[in-house]
Amino acid sequence: MMTTKVNAARLIWTVLPCLLACGADGGAGQASFTTWGEEYIEQGIPADPTGQDGFIDGWTLRYDKFLVAFHAITVADASGEVAATLSGSKLVDNTKPGRKPLVSFPDLDAKHWDAVSYQIKPALADSELVSATATDRDLMVQNGYAIYVAGSATKTGPSGQSIVKTFHWGFKTATQYKGCQQAVESGQPILGIVVTNGGDDTSELTTHGDHFFYDRLMSSSDPAVKTSLRFDEKAAADRNNEGEITLAELDAQPIDVHLYDPSGLDAPSLGAFMNSLARTVGHFRGEGECTVSVLR
């Protein structure tokens, strides 16, 4: 899959041992949070017969909308000390190019804050708009959506004809992302963030648009078992062949267990499968992971 290189994490990796050994020096700094949809959301997902960097079954896909409602961005430490929390929520359309600012927390103690968390859950009537519109917010609030994606997928048919399927999918999932950690190219992942005296540590809450099309709900511990992107089965759910794939049609389409692995979770249909995958959209600083749980 396309990845984002996290150069900042390498820099922090060199600073972190001293901070942990020496402790905070009494100074203060700032922690900022942005969001980005990476190339798959901004530019589209290509076809790739290897399944590593695109759809294994010949489809290409472009997003017209990728709306996400962020809540409760929190900086804390393992002892339970909370430095700052976002009040309200931010509504973002990550099809808009570039990294979008979400919130900055000034005057935090310069130290290792190892308990960073955030939520993606239904938008609010007063959600602040970040590269989204008032019409987007109305759509999200009226339907109780946390994530809404719209776009089209295209494939060349057996006779050379262009096959196009459109989609407009809203997900009402409420998800907690906690224990967020930065991926590093070598060494152990870094839990949370490191605020330095006079510095501004910036964390990207990355959204991954390819995750909706994974053929596994959880990656395999066997490196020989790969996760691929598939669309043929979603296209086949459009039984009336109107060209629009609805979530109701996906809910009515049983998964093919020879192609899709629910990884022991309850996902009997493509709709249920994709609803579970919606919870995996959120990441931290590119490929960094968080512990994902369901908000009740």
Q: Residue 225's pLDDT is what?
A: 85
Tens of pLDDT along the chain (296 residues) come to 333 333 333 333 334 444 443 344 579 999 999 999 999 999 999 999 987 799 999 999 999 999 999 999 999 999 999 999 999 999 999 999 999 999 999 999 999 999 999 999 999 999 999 999 999 999 999 999 999 999 999 999 999 999 999 999 999 999 999 999 998 877 788 999 999 999 999 999 999 999 999 999 998 778 878 899 999 999 999 999 999 999 999 999 999 999 999 988 889 999 999 999 999 999 999 999 999 999 98
Q: Is residue 49 part of a domain?
A: yes
Residue 239 lies in a domain: no
Domain range for 97: 7-209+283-294
156: left (phi over 0), alpha (psi -120 to 50) or beta: beta
Domain-located, residue 237: no
Q: What angle do CA 52, 56, 58 make, to 5 degrees?
A: 130
Total number of domains in the chain: 1
Tokens of 139: 């759509």
Dihedrals φ, ψ of 7, to 5°? Answer: -65, -35
CA distance 77 to 31: 14
Token pair for residue 90?
Answer: 């931010």
- Specify if 30 maps to a domain: yes
Domain assignment of residue 75, yes or no: yes
The token pair that represents 44 in the structure block: 């589209």
Q: What is the pLDDT of residue 258?
A: 93
Residue 18: both structure tokens together: 């001293």
Residue 116 near residue 75, CB atoms below 8 Å: yes
Q: Quick one: three-class SS letters along the chain?
A: CCCCCCHHHHHHHHHHHHHHHHCCCCCEEEEEEEEECHHHHHCCECECCCCCCCECCCCEEEEEEEEEEEEEEEEECCCCCEEEECCCEEEEECCCCCCEEEEEEEEEECCEECEEEEEECCCCCCCEEECCCHHHHHHHHHHCCCEEEEEEEEEECCCCCEEEEEEEEEECCCEEEECCEECCCCCCCEECEECCCCCEEEEEEEECCCHHHECECCCCCCCCCCCCECCHHHHHCCCCCCCEECHHHHHCCECCCCCCECCCCCCCEHHHHHHHHHHHCECECCCECCEEEECC
Q: Give the pLDDT score at 9.
A: 34
User: How many Å apart are CA 240 and CA 171, to the nearest integer?
Assistant: 23
Residue 275 in domain:
no
Q: Is residue 159 part of a domain?
A: yes
pTM for the whole structure: 0.90
Bridge-based pairing state of the strands 147-156 and 60-76: antiparallel
- Domain membership of residue 236 (yes or no) is no
Closest CA to 168 of 190, 146, 151, 147: 151
Report the pLDDT value the prediction gives residue 25, as an integer from 0 to 100. Answer: 53
